[in-house]
Homo-oligomer: A and B are copies of this chain.
Amino acid sequence: MEEQTFSIRHVSAMSGVSIRTLRLYDEIGLLQPLVRTEARYRLYGKNELLRLQQILFYKELDIPLATIRKILDNPAFDTLTALYHHHKELLKKKDKIEKLLQTLTHTIQSIEGELQMNYDDLYQGFDTVTAEAYRKEAKEKYGVESVEQSEHALLSMKKKDFQTLQAMMRNTLENLFNLSHKPMNDEEVQGLIHEYYRIIRELWGTSSSEDSQAEQFIGLGQLYCDDERFYLVNNCYNKEFAEFMAAAMKYYAEKQLY
């Protein structure tokens, strides 16, 4: 029995995504139809519809399309994991709106003379979109301060590049978190650590350097254990996971980097 398929118009109607957009997604390899008929018509199946949903969730989080594709095409990608991740991010979005509502209420009160408001407070809750803010986050979260070239690399890194790396890092960490019940030297775990290492190297600005920076990588893992600011997943500090990461990173460095 053949799988049920849907024309591009049908998918557009179901999903609310324009036909032009669906073609764009095909073009860039983000969402390819199940079938191209002899007439070049696109026909989509169930898996494509599910993938489109994932795309829309990631879009809701302002992830660029190229990054979405990378994430979805990763062999380690898992739909359920991603859905849980989206859930958390949507809750964050909701919190943001709460904050905006608060700012709004305060502004009204300020205008009506009921309270005094600082100028800074006018903008509480709005997204900060400057490259500078992104760099600050990198410093706080990814231990780039301790690496020589990092300051320069960070200054020259473009905002989009940083966002892409960040999204992929989050994705990798999520996957690692799901495997943290396994031994840290598990093959799959170590594969993900390898990925993590390469992303960190991009952030450090040393991705093409001969020096493998094994010790720095180990040091970063240790930093996760020592400093409670480094909550890696679930928006809270998780000691067990930090230790898991540190051990896995240390093992990876010793096996692959020395």
Q: Which residues of A contact B (CB under 8 A)?
A: 6, 12, 14-19, 21, 46, 49-50, 52-53, 56-57, 60, 79-80, 83-84, 86-87, 90-91, 93-94, 97-98, 100-101, 104-105, 107-108, 111-112, 119-120, 122-123, 126-131, 133
Contacts and interface: CB of A to CB of B under 8 A. Distances in A.
B123 A56 contact: yes
A60 B93 CA distance: 12
A101 B87 contact: yes
A50 to B, nearest CB: 7
A105 to B, nearest CB: 8
A15 B126 CA distance: 8
B49 A119 contact: yes
B126 A107 contact: no
Contacts of A128: 16
Contacts of A79: 111
B133 A16 contact: yes
